[in-house]
Structure 1
Amino acid sequence: MDWLGLHFLSSMPTPGNGQVLLDCGHNPFLVALAYLVACAASFATLDIAERVGHVDSVNARLRWRVLGALCLAVGIWAMHFISMLSFQAPLDMHYDIPVTIASLVIALISGTVAMQALSHPLLRPGQYLIASLCIGLGIAAMHYLGMSAMGSSATQYYEPFRFAASIVIAIISSLAALVLAIKLRHGSGMFHQLIKYGASLVMGLGIVSTHFMGMWALHLMVPEGTPMRMHSTENSLQLSLTIALIVMLIIAGSVSAALADKKLQAKEHDLRRVNALLSQLDQARVSLQKVAHYDALTNLINRRGFNQIFAERLMEQKLANGMLAVMFLDVDHFKRINDSLGHDAGDELLKVIADRIRGATRVNDVVARFGGDEFCILIALRNVEEARHMAQRVMAKMKDPIALAGRSMVMTTSIGVSVYPHDGDTCEELLKNADLALYQSKGNGRNTLHFFNEALKNKASLELHLEEQLRNALIDRQGLELFYQPIVDLRTGHVAKLEALVRWRHPVHGLLTPDRFITIAETNGLIAELDNWVLRRACMDLAMLVDDGFEKLIITVNCSALNLAREELAQEMDTALKDAGVPAQRLELEVTENALMGNISNTVLLLNEIRKLGVALSIDDFGTGYSSLAYLKRLPLDTVKIDRSFIIDIPESPQDMEIVQAIIVMAHTLHLKVVTEGVETPAQLEFLSEYGCDYAQGYLFSKPAPLEALKPLVEQLNRRKPSELWPPVNLLEAVETSAVETITPYGRRDASHSRADRFRTRP
C-alpha cells in the first residue's frame, strides 16, 4: 500500500521475488549524541519560554519567540539528522539536499507554532490539544520527509502500527513539552532549575522516541544480487560531531542570552522596585509631612506648620519693612457644646467654624488650628486698621446661625491681636502677646477684640511673679495672715462672730487683699491649698480665743467655688477642727450664692456632710446671684448674708429698703438668720434693727484687723448692755489704730468689707 509516496508492509513484496530484507543497525555513540542534542534543545526551549513569559516589551517577546523557534527547530532537526547518520546499512547511501532543507523548514514551522502557543500566559485544554497536534504532526512530517531524503538502491517500507505510534508519540511529546514549558515559566532557585533539567531529559526522550519509533517501523528491501558492504562510519561521525557542535553553540548562545537577559531583567525589576519604594517613600514623606503640619479634622495647618510659615513670612516682612498681624481666636463657651451634644457634634462645629474663618480671610492669609477651639490667623498688613477690619469680619461671620444636631445656634469668638513690628520682632514674642490680648478679651466678657499693649505684658509678668511667690508663701507658711471683722448681734449688741479674711504681706508690694491673688490661686491650682491654710489657721485662732475667755465667739471662713466642688472638703474641715481641739459649732462656712448653684445636687450632698460635723453654713452675697427659693429651701443653711450693695444707699433709697425688708422676712420664714454687711452709718443700723435683722457687719463697728488688735474692741462691745446699743457709739475712731491700709502696685486703698476684700471667688 502506498500513501503520500510511502510504502507500507501490505505492499512489500514477499521474499523470492528478487527482494532481500536488509538487517540494519545504529551507532550507539551517535544515538547518545542525538539524545544529548534533543535534551539541550528542550532545555533551551524551556528557558526561552520562561523569558517570553517575563518580558513586557512586544518587540522583545517577538525576538525571544523567533530565537526559541530556531533553537527548537534546529535542535530537533539536528537530532534527526544525527540519528540518520547513526543508521548503519550495507548500502551506499546519500541524502537529497533540497528535501533535507525542506525538512528543516518544516521543523522551523513546528518550532514557530510551539513558541506562539508558549507566548500565551495560559492555554485552555482545547488550545493545548490543537497546538500539540500541529507541533506533533510537524515533527512527524519533518522526520518522514528527512527519511525520504535518504537515497539508496533499497526501497523503504513501513509497518503501519509503528508508523502511527511514532506520530502519537510526537503529539504526546509536544503536549508534554507545552505543559512543562508553561508550568515552569514561573519560579526561581536551585529546585526550580533542577526541575527544568529533569523536564529537559523527559522532553528529549520524547523527541528521540518519535524518531526511533519511525526508524523501527522502517524496512529496507533491495533486489537480489545487489552488492552489500558496510561503509566506514568515520565520515558520519565527523559530520555528526560537526552538526552537534554547531547546534550546541547555537543553543548555548541562546541559553546564555536568556540567562543574561534574566539577570538584566532581574536588575531592571530591582531598579523598578527601588524606584517604586522611593516613590512610596516620597508619598509617605508627603503624607507624614501633611500629618505633621496639618490638622486632620479641619484640614487647616497645625501649630507646627504655622510656626514654620510664620518664620518665613516674618523674615519676608523684615526684609521688606512690612507689617504682620497675628490673631488668636478662641470660640466662646465651646466646652458647653461638647458637654451637652457630645464630641462628635463638637467636631462638626469646629469644621464649620474653620470654613467660616477661611471664608472671612483672604487667599494669602494663613489660617491654623492650634488645638481644641483655638485658631490663629496670620495676615500681612499695610496699617493696623486692616487687622481690626479683618477681626471684625471674622467675628461677624461667626455670628451666623449654625445648624447642629437638629438645633440652630450662634457662636461667638474672642480675639487677641499682636502686630509686627510694634508688639515684638520674633515669632515667640508675637504669639505670646497675641495670647495675652486674647486673655484680655475673654476676661472682658468674651465676644470682644483686643490689641496687645504693654500694660497687658506688665500685668502678665506681675501675675506670673505673684504666682511664684504665692506658691513659695504656701510652702514656707510665711507672709500669709488672717484679719478678722466683727459681726455684731443686734439684739444684744455683742460681737457674736468674726469673719476671717486672708491677707498676704508681700515683701515688695505690701499688704495685699484677696482681689490681688485669689484669681491667681484659682487659675494655677493653688486655691485648695490656700483655702485649707485659712481653715486651719482660723481653727487655731478659735482655740486661742477659748483660752482668752471668748468661749462663745464663732469664726466664719469663706470657701472658694472651686473648693466647694471638692469631696475632700468635709474631711479637711473635720481634721482641722480635731487638730485645733475646738468644737465644730464654733465654726461657720460662708459660700457665695453662685457657687452654691454651680452643681446643686453635689452641693447639697457636700453641705449635708459638713452640716453633720456640726459646722454652720451661711450663704454670702445674697441677692446678687441667680438662686431661687426652690433651690434655697433644699440647702441646709443657717444664715443668709445680705450683700452691701443693698445697704449702701439706705435710707435714701426706698427700693433698697423694701428689698432688704423682703429678704429679712423671707429668710425668717425659712428659719434662717440674717446678716447684713457693709453697715457704715447709725441710720443703716437703726433701720436693720427696726426690721428684725439678726446681725450686722461693717465699718461702723470695725475695719478688718489682726486678731490681737480686735480683742479690746470685742471686749468693749461685749461689756455693753442691749440698752446701750442706741444710739450706736462711733467705734470707728476707737479702733482707728486697728484700721488697715493696703499698698498695691496700683495705688493706696483702704481694706474694706466688700466682696473683693474677702476670701472668695467671683462668680
Structure 2
Amino acid sequence: MDWLGLHFLTSMPAHGGMMLHGTHNPVLIVLAYVVACAASFATLSIAERVGHVDRVNARLRWRALGSLCLAVGIWAMHFISMLSFQAPLDMHYDLAVTIASLAIALVSGMVAMEALGHPRLRVSQYLVASVCIGLGIIAMHYLGMSAMRSSATQYYEPWRFAGSIVVAIASSLTALVLAIRLRKGSGTRHQLLKYGASLVLGAGIVATHFMGMWALQLRVPDDMPMEMHATGNSLQLSLTIALIVLLIIAGSISAALADKKLQAKERDLARVNALLSQLDQARASLQQVAHYDALTNLINRRGFNQIFAERLTEQKQAHGKLAVMFLDVDHFKRINDSLGHDAGDELLKVIADRIRGATRANDVVARFGGDEFCILIELENVEEARHMAHRVMAKMKDPIALNGRRMVMSTSIGISLFPEDGETCDELLKHADLALYQSKGNGRNTLHFFNESLKTRASMELHLEEQLRHALTEGQGLQLYYQPIVDLRTGHVAKLEALVRWQHPTQGLLTPDRFITIAETNGLIADLDNWVLRRACQDLAQLCDNGFENLVIAVNCSALNLAREELVQEMDSALKEAGVAPQRLELEVTENALMGNISNTVLLLNEIRKLGVALSIDDFGTGYSSLAYLKRLPLDTVKIDRSFIIDIPKSPQDMEIVQAIIVMAHTLRLKVVTEGVETPAQLEFLSEYGCDFVQGYLFSRPVPLETLKPLVQQLNQRQPSQLWPSTHLLEAVEMTVGQPITEEGLRETEHPRPDRFRSRPQR
C-alpha cells in the first residue's frame, strides 16, 4: 500500500525478494543524542529570552535564532542517525531532498518559536501547536529517509509508522510545556531543571527518529550481491555535521546567556534608577515636611532659620537692614476650646493667607507652631516695618466666616531690627519675642519694637526665676502675711486670708505681682501653692494653741493648680500633718479659673468638699458671672471684687451691682465677702444691704503672723456698733502695723494694692 509516496508493508510482496534489517553505529547514536540535547537546551534558553524581551525587533531576532537552532539541531540529529545506519548495501543520499528536509525542519522550528512567543497558551493552543510541530518533524524525518538512495526498496510497517507520529507529537507537546514553564526563574535549581528538561527532550527527539527507523523495512532482489561498506566516511561526515551544528548551538546559547546577564544588569540598573528616583522623591517629600508647615503650607521654623541665616549674611555684606516680626493671634485658645481644633485649623489657614496677602513677594512668612507666625522683611528704614505690621493688623480685622459665625481676630506683634537689635539670628528672634511679650502684656492688638529695657527685664525675670526656685527648694525667704476678714454681725475677725510674700535677699520684700507670673510660666506655681497651703495649716495650728480656735484661714489656689488631680491629696496631707480640722480651712479660687473646664472643676471641688474644706469663689463679677455655672458649683462663699467697691458711694451703678450680687448669693444660700473696703461709707453701705463679711484696709493691711495676734485681739474687743474706726482704733492699728494711718491713706489712691496681679488671687 502506498500513501504520500511511502510504501507501507501490509504483507510480503508477491514477486519475492529478501527483507534486510540494518544495524546502527552506537558512537553516532550517542553523538546524535548529544546534538539533540544541545538543541533542546538552546531552544529552552532562547525561549526564556523571548519571554523576557520587551522590544519587538529583539523578540523577532530571538525567535529566528531559536527556529534555526531547533531546526538544525533536529535535522543534524536525524542526519547523524541516518549515517549511523549500517546495511550490506551501497547507499548514498540525495542532496536536494536532504536540503528540503532541512527546510521542513526550519518551518517546524518557526512554528515552535511562534508558540513560545505567546506569554500564555490555552490547552487548545498547546494541542494545535504540538500537532503542527510533531507533523513537521515527522515530515522532515521521513523526507530525509527518502533521500537515502540504494538498490533496496523502502517499506514501512503501518503501526510503527503511526507510533512514530504519536511520539513526535508527544515530544513536541512536552517541549512546549517545559519551555513555557521554564521561561521564568533563576538560580541553580532553575538551571538544573533546564538541563534535565534538555535530556528529556533530546531523548524524545531521538525516540521519534528511531521509532521511524524501526518502522523501516528494506527489500532487495534475490540476486542482489550483499557486502558491507566501510563506515569511515560516515563517521567523519557525522562528526563534521555535529561540530558545525554544535558550534551554531553553542554560539546561540552563549548569546542567550550573555543577553540574560545584560538584561539582568539592565534590570538592576533600572531598579537602581527607580530607587534613585524614589529617593529623590522621598528627599523632596522630607524637604517639604522638614521645612514646610503641613497645615498652612508656610515654611516652618527650620526652614525659616535656614533662609534667615542666608538673608542675614547677604545683608551684612550689603550693609542692609532686616526686620523680624513675631505675630501671635490674640485669644486663639478660645476658638479651639469653643469650636474645636478643626475650626481652629481652618482659622489658621485663613490667617496665614491674610498674612501672605499683606506682605510682599520677597518677604518670608513662616508658621512656628500653634498660632505663632513670623515675618522676615528687607527694609530701607524702620517705618517700613511699622507700615507692614499695620497692614497685617488691618487684614486680621476683616471678619472671618467660620462654622456659621462671623468673627474678628486681632494680633499682637513684636519687632526686632538688624543691625540695631542684634547681629545673629538667635538674638534677633529672641528680641522680637520679647517685644511680642510686651505687646501681649499691654493689652494685645498692638505692636512694639524691641528696646534694651525689655532685655533687662527678661534678664531680671530669669534671675528671679532661679532665685525663686532656690527659695522653694530651700524653704527660705517666703513668708505668709494675713489680712483679717470681719464678720459684720459680731464685729469680730472670723477669717484670715493668707497672702504670700517673698523676702528677696537684695530687693527686699516682694509682693506677688513680682513673682507669681514667673512661677506660673516656669512650672513653679504648684510648688508655691503647696508651700502656702502647708505653711497656712501650720500657722492655723499655732493660732489654735494661742486661743483662736474659731478662726478660718482662706488660701488662694491658682487656675493652673486647680487642674491638678493631686491637689486633693496635698490638702488632705497638709491638714493631717498640722493636725487642723478641715472645717478651719477655706480654698479660694477665681471665677475665671472655675470656668476653665467646668466639668472637671465640679468633680475636683466635690472631692475637696468631701474633705470638709470650705470653698469660696474670688473676684466674683470680673469673669463669666454665669448663674447656670454658679449653681452647679459646691461653693460656700462669694467674694465680691474690689473693683465694684472702690467707687461706692459715688457710683450708683456699682452700688446696684453689689446689691444684686448680695441678693443672688443669699438666694443660693451663699455667704458674701466684700474685699477692698477702705472707707466708712463703703462699710455702712455693705452693712445696710446684708453683706456677711468685709475685708480691707479700713481694718488692717496684711501683716505677718507675729503682728497678727495683737491686731486680732484688738479688733475682737469691739461691738458691731463700733466697727466704724474711731481715733482710738486708728491709734491701735498704727501701733500694730508700725506706721501712721490716716483716713485718706486708708484708700491708698496713689499706689495700687500689691495683693492683686492681673486678676490673680491674693497670695
**What TM-score does the superposition give when structure 2 sets the normalisation length?**
0.86
Q: What are the equivalent positions in structure 2 for 1:233-312 lying under 5 Å apart?
A: 233-312=231-310
**What residue in structure 1 maps to residue 376 of structure 2?**
378
**What residue in structure 2 maps to residue 206 of structure 1?**
204
Q: What SS does the corresponding residue of 1:72 show, helix, strand or coil?
A: helix
**What residue in structure 2 maps to residue 171 of structure 1?**
169
Q: Distance in 2 between matches of 1:612 and 1:110?
A: 101
Q: What SS does the corresponding residue of 2:727 show, helix, strand or coil?
A: coil
Matching residue within 459, 473, 477 for 1:475: 473
Q: Distance in 2 between matches of 1:199 and 1:175?
A: 13
**What residue in structure 2 maps to residue 462 of structure 1?**
460
**What residue in structure 2 maps to residue 81 of structure 1?**
79
User: Deviation at 1:627?
Assistant: 2.5
**What residue in structure 1 maps to residue 61 of structure 2?**
63
**What residue in structure 1 maps to residue 224 of structure 2?**
226
Q: Distance in 2 between matches of 1:309 and 1:442?
A: 27
Given the alignment of the two structures, is residue 132 of structure 1 paired with residue 118 of structure 2, yes or no? Answer: no
**What residue in structure 2 maps to residue 745 of structure 1?**
none
Conserved 8 A contact 1:490-1:696: yes
Q: What SS does the corresponding residue of 1:423 show, helix, strand or coil?
A: coil
Paired residue type of 1:438: L
Higher mean C-alpha deviation, range 418-427 or range 229-238 = 418-427
User: Deviation at 1:756?
Assistant: 2.0
Paired residue type of 2:172: S
Higher mean C-alpha deviation, range 605-614 or range 694-703 = 605-614
Q: Distance in 1 between matches of 2:478 and 2:43?
A: 100
Percent sequence identity over aligned pairs: 82
User: Deviation at 1:479?
Assistant: 1.2
Paired residue type of 1:372: G
Instruction: Give unpaired runs (5+ residues) of structure 2.
Output: 741-747
Higher mean C-alpha deviation, range 601-610 or range 466-475 = 601-610
Q: Distance in 2 between matches of 1:681 and 1:104?
A: 131
Higher mean C-alpha deviation, range 286-295 or range 540-549 = 540-549
User: Deviation at 1:204?
Assistant: 2.3
Q: Distance in 2 between matches of 1:79 and 1:637?
A: 110
Q: Distance in 1 between matches of 2:662 and 2:170?
A: 119
Conserved 8 A contact 1:514-1:758: no
Conserved 8 A contact 2:101-2:140: yes
Instruction: Give unpaired runs (5+ residues) of structure 1.
Output: 742-747
Q: Distance in 1 between matches of 2:630 and 2:79?
A: 120
Conserved 8 A contact 1:326-1:419: yes
User: Deviation at 1:121?
Assistant: 2.1
Paired residue type of 1:291: V
Matching residue within 189, 195, 203 for 2:193: 195
Once the two structures are superposed, residues 7-58 of structure 1 have per-residue CA deviations (whole angstroms, 9 ceiling, x without a partner) of 4447985244xx4444433333323322232222222222222222223343
Paired residue type of 1:316: E
Paired residue type of 1:187: G
Given the alignment of the two structures, is residue 706 of structure 1 paired with residue 704 of structure 2, yes or no? Answer: yes
Once the two structures are superposed, residues 315-341 of structure 1 have per-residue CA deviations (whole angstroms, 9 ceiling, x without a partner) of 233223333333333333333444444
Q: What are the equivalent positions in structure 2 for 1:173-572 lying under 5 Å apart?
A: 173-487=171-485, 497-548=495-546, 555-566=553-564, 569=567, 572=570
Q: Distance in 2 between matches of 1:666 and 1:81?
A: 123
Once the two structures are superposed, residues 367-423 of structure 1 have per-residue CA deviations (whole angstroms, 9 ceiling, x without a partner) of 333333333333333443433444444444444554544555444443333333333
User: Deviation at 1:74?
Assistant: 1.9
Q: What SS does the corresponding residue of 2:482 show, helix, strand or coil?
A: strand
Higher mean C-alpha deviation, range 191-200 or range 591-600 = 591-600
User: Deviation at 1:249?
Assistant: 2.6
User: Deviation at 1:149?
Assistant: 2.6
User: Deviation at 1:642?
Assistant: 4.8
Q: Distance in 2 between matches of 1:114 and 1:603?
A: 86
**What TM-score does the superposition give when structure 1 sets the normalisation length?**
0.86
Q: CA 1:179–1:395 in 2, change beyond 3 Å: closer, same or farther?
A: same
Once the two structures are superposed, residues 470-522 of structure 1 have per-residue CA deviations (whole angstroms, 9 ceiling, x without a partner) of 12112212111223344556677665554433221111222111111122223
**What residue in structure 1 maps to residue 743 of structure 2?**
none
Conserved 8 A contact 1:27-1:86: yes
Conserved 8 A contact 2:322-2:377: yes
**What residue in structure 2 maps to residue 756 of structure 1?**
756
Once the two structures are superposed, residues 123-164 of structure 1 have per-residue CA deviations (whole angstroms, 9 ceiling, x without a partner) of 334433443343333333333332333223333333444444
Higher mean C-alpha deviation, range 556-565 or range 37-46 = 556-565
User: Deviation at 1:589?
Assistant: 4.7
User: Deviation at 1:469?
Assistant: 1.2
Paired residue type of 1:258: A
Higher mean C-alpha deviation, range 579-588 or range 307-316 = 579-588
Q: What SS does the corresponding residue of 1:756 show, helix, strand or coil?
A: coil
Q: Distance in 2 between matches of 1:612 and 1:196?
A: 87
Higher mean C-alpha deviation, range 384-393 or range 465-474 = 384-393
Q: CA 1:758–1:486 in 2, change beyond 3 Å: closer, same or farther?
A: farther
Paired residue type of 1:319: Q
**What residue in structure 2 maps to residue 744 of structure 1?**
none
User: Deviation at 1:168?
Assistant: 3.9
Q: CA 1:684–1:543 in 2, change beyond 3 Å: closer, same or farther?
A: same
User: Deviation at 1:237?
Assistant: 2.0
RMSD between aligned alpha carbons? 4.0
Higher mean C-alpha deviation, range 620-629 or range 174-183 = 620-629
Q: What SS does the corresponding residue of 2:481 show, helix, strand or coil?
A: strand
Q: Distance in 1 between matches of 2:598 and 2:190?
A: 81
Higher mean C-alpha deviation, range 212-221 or range 490-499 = 490-499
User: Deviation at 1:300?
Assistant: 3.4
Q: Distance in 2 between matches of 1:723 and 1:151?
A: 157
Q: What SS does the corresponding residue of 2:761 show, helix, strand or coil?
A: coil
Conserved 8 A contact 2:619-2:759: no
Q: CA 1:40–1:605 in 2, change beyond 3 Å: closer, same or farther?
A: closer
Q: Distance in 2 between matches of 1:55 and 1:113?
A: 19
Q: CA 1:660–1:407 in 2, change beyond 3 Å: closer, same or farther?
A: closer
